[in-house]
A and B are shown apart, each in its own frame.
Chain A
């Protein structure tokens, strides 16, 4: 759906907006009228305060030595930057961070490349096959994550899983009783297949929806100029949909980087905590081991990393907003 948001953002400014000029004459533009937007955003803003307060609370907790003992006795022990020093000074933290970045990159590349290819395929299918493929894409998109996770555990089950059976049948007999969650890479493989399977539909269907907004004259002109499929993509489709590609890529980066349920539910970060990504690490440290202050510090560091990852995108969007005003 981000395609629509982007499109709206990219829409040319209305002619009435003379910068620095007199305010455009509008019916009902009184002093009371000027309060209207604030009244309209008030409930949303109030709810955001709730979120903001939690962030502040999270920040405060991250400077506390808050473990099970302090929690039960309701005592507050400030440790300054102690949690951050410990986290940033530990090889474990940096190991998990590096793992999260690689994991996110791998997933997002797969999602974007395959999702876009399928989206372009949708655009050139006949009505019937397009309907069929859309239906197939809707199913993973609609599957609740927890349900999808149990299904994938079943598909990759060591004894009766269909994946092992098919690999065995295909001649790879050593896979007959393979334990997918017994090894770091294979656990990540299952998690990746699950996440990519569930994320492609969003990209593909939105890309297809976005391509239908491209004026066909552009393609006609391009093919008159003798452009082939690839040339048409690079000279028409891609430039036209650039905002879409940017928005979707960054959304996927955010989603995959902070994905918790899939990673946690497949194997709880195992084996031997080898598949813990940052959110799961914060969870096991904070809630699991009841080092609440430390967990809060890790979550703050995660948020900072997300901000860095997406700062570029936010700047871009803000610039568009500015142009629009």
Chain B
């Protein structure tokens, strides 16, 4: 249908379409202000400047927000990975009463519209007198990423041929040893993929922290960024620098981990 050239040409056009907004964010952040507000757009930051980045980093409490975001994200993702790994192994490998209900509840939990349940969370956290602190956020975020993590890891565990595990057990390993030595290494791509998506979810989360943590000292980067927009208004250079600073950790993680994650899906376990 399409010749030999067209798929390639289409791919290049699509690449531009998808990458442009991200490029434009970085390009704007690096351009001096006159270039940003010029009549004819300056397509490349020909005289790059870091003044917008300096402005963003110097903005009130940037490093506090970074610290809070990192704490909340790493702890919540770590916890959910460990918990989900146990559960997904049970669900993928064992038959037990209640297995189906457990999966069903997980799927329903995945649909839970967190954004509208903020009211209930607000009440609970307020009654516990824990507004403006990180532990409630960590707990909520752990539950938030758990269903996806369990359901996805379940697929990865199930994709590891049972024979590998069984032959390890025939060779004298206990079930736990078989898991740690044979299955766990094969799950590395799955763990990377799920932790990546968990990281993105938590790093991004906005409505919950907006409601629960009014105190700037306990807020995370999404609030910093939206607050920054309000404060700096039409200073698009500074706003794009702030957006870039917020986006860069995820972009880097994604580029590093994604290929392993996706590649791992299809490479097949028996091959190695």
Contacts and interface: CB of A to CB of B under 8 A. Distances in A.
Contact of A55 (B12, B103, B117, B122): B117
A2 B54 CA distance: 41
Given A7-B159, A146-B222, A292-B122, 12 more contacts: A4-B155, A17-B95, A36-B90, A55-B112, A142-B200, A146-B225, A151-B24, A152-B21, A154-B240, A201-B18, A254-B111, A282-B116
B186 interface: no
A279 B100 contact: no
B18 A146 contact: no
B11 A133 contact: yes
A36 B94 contact: yes
Given A36-B90, A138-B255, A8 B15 contact: no
B117 A299 contact: yes
Interface stretch (A88-96, A101-109, A123-131, A179-187): A123-131
Interface in A1-54: 1-9, 11, 14, 17, 27-28, 34, 36-38, 40-41, 43-45, 47-48, 50-51, 53-54
A260 interface: yes
A295 interface: yes
Contact of A283 (B1, B89, B116, B254): B116
A258 B115 contact: yes
A54 B124 contact: yes
A162 interface: yes
A145 B11 CA distance: 25
Interface string A251-283: 000100010110011000000000000110011
A10 to B, nearest CB: 10
B236 A157 contact: yes
B8 A129 contact: yes
Given A154-B24, A260-B207, A296 B83 contact: no
Given A8-B158, A41-B102, A155 B119 contact: no
B7 interface: yes
Closest 5 CB pairs between A and B? A299-B116, A260-B115, A142-B254, A8-B158, A136-B15
A174 interface: no
B107 A125 contact: no
Contacts of A121: 7, 10-11, 14
B112 A303 contact: yes
Interface in A43-86: 43-45, 47-48, 50-51, 53-55, 57-58, 61
Interface stretch (A217-225, A234-242, A310-318): A310-318
A34 B96 contact: yes
Nearest to A202: B197
Contact of A8 (B2, B17, B124, B154): B154
B18 A136 contact: yes
A205 interface: yes
B55 interface: no
Nearest to A50: B143
Contact of B258 (A138, A258, A318): A138
A43 B83 contact: yes
A143 B250 contact: yes
B152 A4 contact: yes
A205 B152 CA distance: 16
A325 B96 CA distance: 10
A280 B134 CA distance: 25
B109 interface: yes
A283 B118 contact: yes
Which interface class (under 10, 10 to 19, 20 to 34, 35 or more) fits B?
A: 35 or more
Interface string B114-155: 011111111110000000000000010011001000111011
Given A40-B89, A160-B236, A265 B226 contact: yes
Nearest to B43: A162
B22 interface: yes
Interface in B206-226: 206-207, 211, 222, 225-226
B120 A61 contact: yes
A8 B92 contact: yes
Most buried by B among A278, A282, A322: A282
B188 interface: no
Contact of A4 (B19, B156, B207): B156
Contacts of B24: 151, 154-155, 162
A113 to B, nearest CB: 14
Given A8-B159, A144-B246, A279-B116, A228 B1 contact: yes
Contact of A155 (B21, B105, B174, B254): B21
Contacts of A197: 18, 21
B19 A136 contact: yes
Contacts of A292: 119, 122-123
Nearest to B40: A165
B120 A125 contact: no
A146 B206 contact: yes
10 contacts: A44-B146, A124-B2, A139-B18, A140-B22, A141-B254, A150-B226, A160-B37, A261-B115, A261-B207, A292-B122
A38 B143 contact: no
A4 B22 contact: no
A7 B160 CA distance: 12
